[in-house]
Amino acid sequence: MKIGVTCYPTVGGSGILGTRLGVEFAKRGHRTHFITLETPFALQGIDYDFVKVHRVSVVEYPLFKYPPYTVALATEMSDVTDSAELDLLHVHYSLPHATAAQLAREVTGKPYVTTLHGSDVTILGNDPAYERVNTMSVEASDAITAVSKFMADEAHNNLGIEKKIHVIPNFVDNEKYQPAPCELIEARTEEAITLIHVSNFRPVKRVEDIVYSMCVITKKVPNAKLIIVGDGPDRRRVERLIDKLGLKKNIRMMGFRSDVPDILRCADALIMASETESAPLTILEGMSSGLPIIATDVGGIPEQVEDGVNGFLVPVKRPDEIAEAVLKLNADINLQTKMGENSRKTVLERYTVDRVLDQYMKIYESVI
């Protein structure tokens, strides 16, 4: 099959997922053509014969205050669809990709599949400025998928989508992320529980709540450690808070890293304090690495984390409850081990690449 993929090229979850999906199809002999603003970040270092990147060129003209990106994208989609004889377009994140794909379909007659990831629906839920056009383009898709049931419900209830939405979960590379001894000397801490948070530091991630939870945890377990990986808008605020609370010796900010699988192996549990999430990739990566997950009971997280089985669900904005869950794990090594094993099992049962690809392939076959 020849598939055209459009996603945001940078580090956002939808861009990563869209890129990995295209690459996995290419590994299985399909041809993937990425049609994006820039080379997707998650494509760096990947060199497959069946992957090609087409960068959208936006015309700058003195008359235009804003370059017409959606038209430029639709033009590139149409041209690539015809020249590469694509069977379909798969767009991740509806805004503005679904609208461009709908225009391209007018030109080429080829179908498009839209995958809803999260912010595209939540943004519109908060500010409906573009809602009518976006909803029409999602609704007009030949098939719609969402990465969690939560997301599908939001799209039906908040965007007014009436068409069936197929729930296809996100996936994780369970070979790259697997339980193994910690070999990264800079992350190894043998004396006490080591927690990890991986984040793009957007306000929605509420990283400060995790820092506050460390105040409570370290009162009982003075050597407890927290590793924070990633970078983004809230990073400086978080650093200032760590300083203010005197937690510098307990919390290690590692910045943006490419060796996340190695770092995860050095932790005992993964924490996520987000205000909302549709289907976090970080949780899947932590579970695949055999970690118990302590996460907020919001959005699609309860579809991944079963309270008391592979981790603990806690209310949002409650650092004290995060701390309580950590202390429970710290006090009971058998519970920690069992939950970690259950995490890995959950991934192997539900979130492997092959399992998820099969579901997308069925959707592709139904629209071409």
Q: Is the peptide bond before 111 cis (omega within 30 degrees of 0)?
A: no
Q: Provide, rounded to whole angstroms, the least separation between the CB of residue 97 and ligand GMT.
A: 11
Instruction: Using alpha carbons, select from 315, 304, 317, 311 the residue that is nearest to residue 278.
Output: 304
Exactly one of 22, 40, 111, 280 binds ligand GMT (CB under 6 A); that residue is 280
Q: Segment contacting ligand GMT (CB under 6 A): 172-180, 197-205, 212-220, 262-270?
A: 197-205
Exactly one of 27, 149, 202, 237 binds ligand GMT (CB under 6 A); that residue is 202
Q: Which is nearer to ligand GMT, 4 or 9 (CB)?
A: 9
13 binds ligand GMT (CB under 6 A): yes
Size of the site for ligand GMT (CB under 6 A): 20
Alpha helices in 276-332 (DSSP H): 281-288, 301-304, 319-331
Phi and psi of 58, rounded to 5°? -100, 125
Q: Provide, rounded to whole angstroms, the least separation between the CB of residue 264 and ligand GMT.
A: 16
CB-CB contact of 23 with 17 (8 Å): no
134 binds ligand GMT (CB under 6 A): no
CB-CB contact of 107 with 80 (8 Å): no
Q: Which is nearer to ligand GMT, 117 or 197 (CB)?
A: 117
147 binds ligand GMT (CB under 6 A): yes
Q: Provide, rounded to whole angstroms, the least separation between the CB of residue 64 and ligand GMT.
A: 27
Q: Dmax of the chain from CA atoms?
A: 67
Q: How many CB atoms lie within 10 A of CB 201?
A: 18
Q: How many CB atoms lie within 10 A of CB 60?
A: 7
114 binds ligand GMT (CB under 6 A): no
276 binds ligand GMT (CB under 6 A): yes
H or E element in which residue 32 lies: strand 31-36
Q: Which residues bind ligand GMT (CB under 6 A)?
A: 12-15, 17, 93, 117-119, 147, 170, 200, 202, 204, 276-281
